Amino acid sequence: MQLNHVPMDPGGSGGDLVSNRRDWAKAGEAVGSLREDIGKAFGKLADGQKGLGEDSGCLTAAAQKDVYDSWETYVKSVSARCGRLSGLLEKAGSDQLRTDEAVEVEIGNLDVAYSDTPAVGGQEKGR
């Protein structure tokens, strides 16, 4: 076994990796929609909790309140994570596009700075 080289046929399908801003934005929107769904579900959970009161004197109600409080913390955390991930995915697509555009601009600048100059001497018109 030799570890310092790539095998002759590393396998895989080959080809180029293709990625575009629209796909990144779509992924970000999908994760963002999860956040909206989580918010709706939590609203229903909160509605179901109404009427128990803060201190009803019932052990079952107190236990349910503890469970509700833990779920509230968890749901808010998941929602925040979805929001942050959504933003990161959209930013990745935007950054990727900007990188591609920046590279194109720099290559264009090279073309301008180092464009071929017309040949000098040795050639006459009409030949």
pLDDT tens readout for residues 55-84: 667 788 788 888 888 888 888 888 888 888
More confident residue, 109 or 82: 82
State the Cα–Cα distance between residues 123 and 111, nearest whole angstrom: 25
High-pLDDT (> 70) share of the chain, %: 69
Q: Is it the case that residue 122 has pLDDT exceeding 60?
A: no
Mean per-residue pLDDT of the chain: 77
How far apart CA 89 and CA 22 sit, in angstroms, is 11
pLDDT at 8: 60
pTM of the model: 0.58
- Coil/strand/helix, residue 124: coil
The answer to whether 89 and 27 are in contact (CB under 8 A) is yes
Cα end-to-end distance, the chain, whole Å: 63
30: pLDDT confidence band, cut at 50, 70 and 90?
Answer: very high
pLDDT band at 52; cut points 50, 70, 90: low
Report pLDDT for 117: 61
